Amino acid sequence: MTGSNSKGHVLMFINRSFFSFIVASLLMLASSGVIAQEAGDAPQIAGPISLTGLINGAAEPLSDSEAEATASNGSGAIIYNARRAPEEPETAKTDIAQPTSLITINDAADNMSAKASEATTQVLEELDSITPTKDNASISAARAPQPANRIGLRSVSNIGLASIGLQQVGAPAQLNSFIWRQSETANIIPLILATPSYGSSQTLSTLSRQIMVQPAVPPLNAQQDINALVSARLEWLAGAGQSDSLSALVRKLPDDEDWNDWKRWQVQYDLMRRADDTACNEASRRSAETLDGFWHKANIICLLLSGQNAPASFAADVLNASGDDDDNFFQLVDKLLGRRTEISLDMNDLSLVHLMLLDAAHETISLDALDNIPSSMIQALPSFRYLDADASVTVSYRLYERGLQSSSDTEQIWRSLKTAPVPAEAALSELSTVVLPAAGMRSSHGSSSPFLWVALVNRTELSEDSLVRAALEAEASTGRLSLLLPLYDSLVRHRVKMGNAGTLDSATAELYAFVMQAHDPAQELPAGLSDQAGVAEYLSQILNVASGDVWDADALEGLDLWHVLPLLDALDVQRPEEEWLARASDTVATSLSLGRPYLSVPADRMLALEEASRSGRVGETILLIAHLVQGAHLGYIRPEDGAVMIQALNMIGLKDAARNFGRELIIGQLERRYQAQEN
C-alpha cells in the first residue's frame, strides 16, 4: 500500500512538473517578445507585411489599379481585388463635436430634465478635457489604414463613453449631437436592438447607420445603462456589416473586462485586414498575461508575420503539448513552416484564425468555409485573395446589399466570371421557392440572387428574355428587386441594345421599362422599347413627379395606382383641376371591392412615431420608422401609413430623406404590381 502511494505521488509530481514547464514556456515566450520590443531588439519590418509573404515566392498583393477579379491556380479561385476595401471612418477629434457646435446648455434646459442638463454639462466638460493622441502603432501605408487619432481610454467617464462616435461626411445637419434629446434610454435601447440593421429602404439604412455612429449626448436617464447603450450600438453596427466603423468605435472603448470580447474581435479584424502592427502589439501583450489559447494563436501568427519561424514553431509545439486540440490550426501552421505539404481540415470547424492561415497558405477558400463568418467581419473578407467563384460572388453581394460596395464594383466582379457557378434555371427555381417570414414581408435571404444574375448575363440568346422576365418577377415577389435595380438595369439595357426590343411581348417590355425608369427616371428608354411598352409613358410620369408637380390621372388609371394618392399628397404632388364627376360618368360603372391587403402596423407605434416627430426627437423618429419598415416588402406598407412616415421625416427636417423614402414606397407599389404572385 505504501509503495503504491509513493508511486502515485511520483506520477502526480511528474504531471504537475510537466504542466508547469508548459505554462512557463508559454509565458516566457510571450514575455520575451514584449521585452525585445521594449529593448528595441524586435526585428523591424522594412516594407508592408502580408500573410501571403510567409510562403517563399508568394505573389505580391495585387495593386489597386488591377480593377478586375482574375482567375488563379486554374482551380476556379478568384483573386478578389476589384477595389481596395474602404478605409475605416476617420475618428472624431474628440468623442463628439466641440461644444461650440452644440446647442447651448441654456437652450437644452428648455427641453431636457434637470438630470439630462447635468449630464450634458458633464459630457461637454469632458470633451474639452480630452485631447486626441496618436495611436502607438505605426502602420505602413500599404496596409489597411487605421484611425490616426484615439481618445485617452482611461480618461472617459461612463457618461462620456455613451457619447463616443465618429466624424461623418455628408450627413444631414439634423443628425447632430442632440439626436437623442428628450428620448428615454429605457425606450431607445430596446428600439435599437429590435431595428433591423439593413432592409427594404436604402434611405432608412443610411439614416440608421448615421445615427449609430454619430457622437451625441446620451438619452435621458442613461447613467445606469451606459454599457447597455454602447453595446446595443455596437451590435447594430456588427449586424449591418459596418466593420470599419465598428473597429473605429471599439478602439475608443476603455481597457476593462466589460469590453474584452470586443477587444478580441478587434485583433481578429486587424489581422484579417493585415494591420499587423496594431494587432500584434495587442497579441504580444495579452499572451504574456493569460493562458487563453486565442491570444497565443494570435501571437504565433504574428511571429510568423515577422519572420520569426523558430519561435513560432516552438510556441506552436508548446501550445499543442498543453492540450489545445485545434487540429486545423496546427495543420495550417505546419504547412506554413514547411513541415507538411498536405492538409485535411475539418470544414465544419473553421474559425477566423483558420481562414487567415488558409489564405496565407494559398489555399482556396470555398463558400462553405465562410458560413461561420459573422457579419461584423464582412468588410475584411475582400482581403482574402483566394476565394473560389461561389465565395467571391457571395462576398460581393453581402457587401452590396449592406451598402458597402457600389453597384458598378459589384457588377464588375460578377461579369468577370466567364462561366456561371450555377445554371440560371437552378438559381431561379431556388429563388422561386423562398419562404417569406410572413405574408407581405421581405425575404431576408438572397443567396441565390447573385448567381441568377451572373447566369442570366451569360445567356445572350434573344430567346432568353422570358427567363429574364421570370427572374424579375421572382425578385419582385421577395421584395428585393428594388435593391437589384442598378444591376438589372444594366442587364436589360444590354439585352435591348442587342436589337430585340421589337420581339418582346408587351408584358416583358413593360417590365423592362419599369426596371429602367425605376432605377433612373431621367434616362430615356432605348429606341423601340417605349413604343413596345404600352405604359412606358405612365411609368415615366409617376416616377418623375416632384414636389409641386401635378399628378396625372390617366397615369394612375393606366397603372391601377389610385391607392398611392396618400403618398403623392405627402410628397406635395398637387391634384389636377378636373371635373371628377364627369370623368367618373365616362367610365364603366364601379362596383365596391375589398381592395388590396396590407400589413397592419401597430397603432401604438404609429402614435409613438407622430409624438416623437412632433417633439423633434430625431434619432427616435428614424429608429421607429426603420423598425416598422425594414423587414417588410415596401409594396405591402399601407399608403396611408407610408404618408405618416414621410410627414414624420419632414417634421424633423429630413426633407431629402422624406422625398427619397416616398419614392421608394411608390417603387414598392409598382414592384408589387409586377411580382409573380401575391405573397
| Complete DSSP assignment for 619-649 | HHHHHHHHHHHTTB-GGGS-HHHHHHHHHHH
Least confident of 157-161, 244-248, 504-508, 582-586: 582-586
Q: Which of 287, 281, 315 is nearest to 25 (CA)?
A: 315
Least confident of 80-84, 170-174, 647-651, 656-660: 80-84
Least confident of 74-78, 224-228, 484-488, 552-556: 74-78
Residue 48: burial class (beta carbons within 10 Å; 0-12, 13-18, 19+): middle
Q: Supply 128's cell numbers.
A: 474639452
Angle between helices 449-457 and 389-401 (to 10 degrees): 110
Q: What is the pLDDT of residue 503?
A: 81
Sorting pLDDT into bands at 50, 70 and 90, what band is 66?
A: very low
Mean pLDDT (whole number) for 363-388: 92
What whole-number percentage of the chain has pLDDT above 90? 57
The strands making up 77-79's β-sheet, listed across from edge to edge, are 70-72, 77-79, 387-388
Sorting pLDDT into bands at 50, 70 and 90, what band is 12?
A: very low
Measured at the alpha carbon of residue 380, what is the angle toward residues 481 and 378, in degrees to the nearest 5? 35
Asked if 288 contacts 25 with a C-beta cutoff of 8 angstroms, the reply is: no
229-245 burial, b for 16+ CB within 10 Å, e for fewer? bbbbbbbbbbbbbbbbb
Asked if 280 contacts 305 with a C-beta cutoff of 8 angstroms, the reply is: yes
Asked if 576 contacts 550 with a C-beta cutoff of 8 angstroms, the reply is: yes
* Confidence (pTM): 0.78
Residue 49 neighbours by CB under 8 Å, 6+ apart: 140, 143, 274, 276, 305, 306
Most confident of 143-147, 355-359, 642-646: 642-646
267-277 burial, b for 16+ CB within 10 Å, e for fewer? bbbbbbbbbbb
Q: Could you give the C-alpha distances from 467 to 428, 499, 536, 641, in angstroms and in order?
A: 9, 17, 21, 35
Supply the DSSP symbol for 441: B
Q: What is the pLDDT of residue 526?
A: 83
Per-residue pLDDT of 384-397, as tens digits, reads: 999 999 999 999 99
Three-class DSSP category at 304: helix
Mean pLDDT (whole number) for 198-202: 96
Per-residue pLDDT of 624-669, as tens digits, reads: 999 999 999 999 999 999 999 999 999 999 999 999 999 999 999 9
Query: Is the pLDDT at 220 greater than 50, yes or no?
Result: yes
Evaluate the CA torsion angle 400, 405, 409, 414 in order and state its sign.
Answer: negative
C-beta neighbour count of 365 within 10 angstroms: 24
Sorting pLDDT into bands at 50, 70 and 90, what band is 585?
A: low
